[in-house]
Amino acid sequence: MSFELPKLPYSPDALEPFISAKTIEFHYGKHHQTYVTKLNGMIQGTQFENAALEDIVCQATGGVFNNGAQVWNHTFFWESFSARRNTAPTGDLLGLIERDFGSFDEFKAKFADAAINLFGSGWAWFTMKPDNSLAIVQTGNAGNPLREGQVPLLTCDVWEHAYYLDYQNRRPDYLAAFWNLVDWDLVASRLP
Ligand code: MN
C-alpha cells in the first residue's frame, strides 16, 4: 500500500489573495508531495507498510513519524479552508469557545499569539482534550496532538515555507490572512 497526495478541495487560486496560487504550487505541490513520496519510500518492508496514517502519526518515530505526520498535518491544514468564507463559529462550537476562552476574539488572539511566537518551524493547534476542554497548543516540526490523545480541530502551519512567498518574514500578516480562510463549519464538523 502507498499513500497519495490528497486532491485539494478547491482550485489552486481559490485562497487568493490570502494564500497565493504560487504558494499552493510549492507548499501543496512540492512540500506536501515530497512528504508523501518520502513516507512511501520509508515504510516499505517495515511494520508500517500497511498501516493507517493515524497509526503512523501516533506510533512511529524518526523519519517515518516526521514524514507521516507532515502528510497528515498538511492534509488537515488544507481541509480547514474553503472559498465559502464561513469565517466565524456558530452554534455548539461558538458556545464551547465562549465557555473556555471568553469570546471568539479572545480565542483568535490566543491562537495567533501561539502561532506567531512559536520559535522555529511547527504548527499551532486548536484541540479538544480528553476531558472535553478546548486548548491551544504548539508543536515543533512535525508534532501532532493526536499523540497526546487530543482531537485536532484546526491547525496553522507556521513553517516558513507556508508564508514566505506571500509574506516573507511577516508571520503576523500571514496569521491575519489565515482568519479569512478558515471554514468554521468544517472546524465544527471535527468536534467529537
Ligand atoms: Mn507546510
CA of 30 to the centre of ligand 1 (A): 10
CA of 31 to the centre of ligand 1 (A): 7
CA of 159 to the centre of ligand 1 (A): 6
Range of the domain at 74: 21-79
Type of residue found at 35: Y
CA of 133 to the centre of ligand 1 (A): 27
CA of 100 to the centre of ligand 1 (A): 29
* Residue 182 domain flag: yes
Convert the pLDDT of each residue in 137-189 to its tens digit. 999 999 999 999 999 999 999 999 999 999 999 999 999 999 999 999 999 99
* Residue 159 domain flag: yes
Pair 60, 150 in one domain = no
CA of 21 to the centre of ligand 1 (A): 15
Convert the pLDDT of each residue in 87-130 to its tens digit. 999 999 999 999 999 999 999 999 999 999 999 999 999 999 99
Which residues neighbour ligand 1 (ion) by CB within 5 Å?
157, 159, 162
> How much is the pLDDT for 111?
98
Pair 54, 125 in one domain = no
* Residue 101 domain flag: yes
Dump the DSSP string for the chain: ----PPPPSS-TTTTTTTS-HHHHHHIIIIIIHHHHHHHHHHHTTSTTTT--HHHHHHH--HHHHHHHHHHHHHHHHHTTB-SS---S--HHHHHHHHHHHSSHHHHHHHHHHHHHT--SSEEEEEEE-TTS-EEEEEEETT--GGGGT-EEEEEEE-SGGGTHHHHTT-HHHHHHHHTTTB-HHHHHTT--
pLDDT band at 1 (very low <50, low <70, confident <90, very high): confident
Residue 51: CATH number of its domain? 1.10.287.990
> How much is the pLDDT for 16?
96
Own/partner long-range contacts of 6-14 (Cβ < 8 Å, ≥24 apart)? 6/75, 6/78, 6/79, 8/78, 9/78, 9/79, 9/82, 10/81, 10/82, 10/83, 14/81, 14/82, 14/83
CA of 95 to the centre of ligand 1 (A): 31
* Pairing between β-strand 151-157 and β-strand 122-128 as defined by DSSP bridges: antiparallel
* Residue 1 domain flag: no
> How much is the pLDDT for 128?
98
Structurally, the chain folds into a number of domains equal to 2
CA of 36 to the centre of ligand 1 (A): 12
